[in-house]
Structure 1
Amino acid sequence: MRNKLFTLPKKILGTALAAVLLPLLAPTTGAAAQAAADVCRSGYFCIYEHSGFVGRYWAFPSNVHVGYVGDFMNDRMTSFKNYTTVYACLYETANYGHKMSPHGLGAIPPGYWTSNVNPFSNDKLSSIRFTSTYDCD
């Protein structure tokens, strides 16, 4: 004989499971999204899909050039943080073609960040190169 206390109807069990799991799978918005944006750690150049450091994000270590940011973030950057000790050079095409100048900068200096790039740079990033000088050429 089964103990009825531990036998839940499938509908109740499914509803309870969905109530627990769905918030974990939902896109992050508002204050939770802002907290997620703080995942950018020292030594990384982080790009975000939307202004205000929200939406998709990806962190790139400064010790490796990025010839292609990948399908996940290609042409999706609207805000960024440079938490590295080097300059970041941003390019519109893969393999460092067509240099970008968000906010008129030739290279993104160490410690610099912006919550909203200029319209000419929005959703155009495809590759990143790191350098110890301001010169991206």
Structure 2
Amino acid sequence: MKKSLVAGVIAAACVTVTTVGLGATPASADPNDCPKKYVCVWDNSNYEGRFVFVPGTERPNVGEYMNDRTTALSNRTGSHVCFYQNSNGKGSLLARVGPGDSRPNVGPTANDRISSWKAC
């Protein structure tokens, strides 16, 4: 009986921790949390939601996880970075961000349209 009770308490605690962890909404992040020499993009404004951190200044295809989902970004590299509508730096230039700059909201022209970036 004691083993069943202990196992039940442990199982309940695990379910509670998992539920709380999955149900939590992300807190507002600081764009400086993006590591130095990286470009970081988030799918929600104010650096919230799903994100991708990429070393260097080039990402020919942001991938299915973040394609056409970017709303906030941070450029922690030493170069200007240009963000494009299509993969491989093709299509419309949607944003140009200077070294060390960030944007909590890329604006309506670029919002949910970025597919790639490279130094420019």
TM-score bin, normalised by smaller chain:
0.7 to 0.9
Residue 68 of structure 1 pairs with residue 53 of structure 2: no
Runs (5+) with no aligned partner, structure 1: 131-135
Q: Deviations over 1:83-127 (max 9, x none)?
A: 11111111101111113233xxxx311011111111010000101
- Partner residue of 1:122 out of 104, 111, 115: 111
4+ residue stretches of structure 1 with deviation over 4 A?
A: 35-38
**Residues matched between the structures, number:** 120
Instruction: Please say if residues 29 and 48 of structure 2, whose CA atoms lie closer than 8 Å, have aligned partners that are also in contact.
Output: no
Instruction: Please say if residues 29 and 46 of structure 2, whose CA atoms lie closer than 8 Å, have aligned partners that are also in contact.
Output: no
CA distance, structure 2, for counterparts of residue 28 and residue 18 of structure 1: 18
What is the TM-score when the length of structure 2 is the normalising length? 0.85
- Partner residue of 1:18 out of 6, 12, 15: 15
The residue type equivalent to 2:90 in the other structure is G
CA distance, structure 2, for counterparts of residue 53 and residue 118 of structure 1: 14
Q: Give the equivalent residue in structure 1 for 2:77.
A: 84
- Partner residue of 2:101 out of 112, 115, 118: 112
Higher Cα radius of gyration: 1
CA distance, structure 1, for counterparts of residue 70 and residue 56 of structure 2: 17
The residue type equivalent to 2:35 in the other structure is R
Instruction: Please say if residues 75 and 125 of structure 1, whose CA atoms lie closer than 8 Å, have aligned partners that are also in contact.
Output: yes
Q: How far off its partner does 1:11 sit?
A: 4.5
Runs (5+) with no aligned partner, structure 2: none
Q: Give the equivalent residue in structure 1 for 2:90.
A: 97
Partner SS state of residue 15, structure 1: helix
1:1-80 matches, within 5 Å, as 4=2, 6-8=3-5, 11-29=8-26, 33-35=27-29, 39-62=33-56, 65-80=58-73
Partner SS state of residue 99, structure 2: coil
Q: Percent of pairs identical after alignment?
A: 31
Aligned in 2, Cα 1:110/1:100: closer, same or farther, shift over 3 Å?
Answer: same
CA distance, structure 2, for counterparts of residue 35 and residue 101 of structure 1: 23
Partner SS state of residue 20, structure 2: helix
Partner SS state of residue 52, structure 1: helix
Q: How far off its partner does 1:37 sit?
A: 6.1
